[in-house]
Amino acid sequence: MSFTIIDCTPDTHARQVREIFNEAILNTTALYDYRPRSPETVLKWFGAKAGRGDPVLGALDGQGNLLGFATYGPFRERPAYKYSVEHSVYVHREHRRKGVAAALLRELIRRAEAQELHLMVGGIDAQNAASISLHEKLGFRHAGTIAQAGFKFGRWLDLAFYQRLLATPQRPVDG
């Protein structure tokens, strides 16, 4: 499968990002969320990402269709966490297991290093073997699991955290 990794923009990609988000919300445990996102919510999400300088990457096929997207944002809001981010990768249901998520995650890692970040964290449903396998192949290690962290589809869900330490920043500072 051929695709290109790009920076998503709200004008061009908000509708397709929303469709991928909403399919994941309604049909998977990739998002511990119940309600589909409105167009306004997705535009606000894009605005918040832009305001912080967080990337929103997309994988586009030759016809301009968004196959998946990935992003990261603050792991926690306290200043001492400034070198740590939590990431997310979502792939359109028809394009899963075709290398899209791996390409997006590799580029997220590259962007995080370029921004002099030190830690990437992924919160993954503990039953999501495909995502766990992908993260392990890309150097992420299991950092712990929170049992019964969420409740969706009539059952309790365990949330596994995977982390990858980056070689950056070169000169970390307090404050």
pLDDT tens track for 103-151: 999 999 999 999 999 999 999 999 999 999 999 999 999 999 999 999 9
pLDDT (tens digit per residue) in 60-94:
999 999 999 999 999 999 999 999 999 999 999 99
CATH of domain 4-165: 3.40.630.30
pLDDT (tens digit per residue) in 12-71:
999 999 999 999 999 999 999 999 999 999 999 999 999 999 999 999 999 999 999 999
How far out from the chain centre does Cα 138 lie?
14
- Kindly state the DSSP code that residue 36 receives in the 8-state scheme: P
Q: Identify which of 25, 37, 108, 41 has the alpha carbon closest to the alpha carbon of residue 72.
A: 108
Cα 51 to Cα 44, 47, 60, 66, 154, distances in angstroms: 10, 6, 24, 23, 37
Q: What is the mean pLDDT of residues 142-166?
A: 98
Strands (E), 3-154: 4-7, 56-60, 66-74, 84-91, 119-125, 141-152
Q: Which residues contact 9 (CB under 8 A, 6 or more apart)?
A: 46
Residue 39: enclosing H or E segment and its boundaries?
helix 39-52
Residue 125 near residue 158 (C-beta atoms within 8 A): yes
> What pTM was estimated for this model as a whole?
0.95
The pLDDT score that the predictor gives to residue 175 is: 78
Residue by residue, DSSP assigns 78-115 as SGGGTTEEEEEEEE-GGGTTSSHHHHHHHHHHHHHHHT
Residue 85 near residue 105 (C-beta atoms within 8 A): no
The pLDDT score that the predictor gives to residue 1 is: 72
Domain ranges in the chain are: 4-165
- Using DSSP's 3-state secondary structure scheme, residue 85 falls into strand
Residue 67 near residue 95 (C-beta atoms within 8 A): yes
**Number of Cα atoms under 13 Å in the Cβ half of residue 17:** 25
* Token digits of residue 122: 């992924």
Query: How do strand 84-91 and strand 66-74 relate by DSSP bridges?
Result: antiparallel
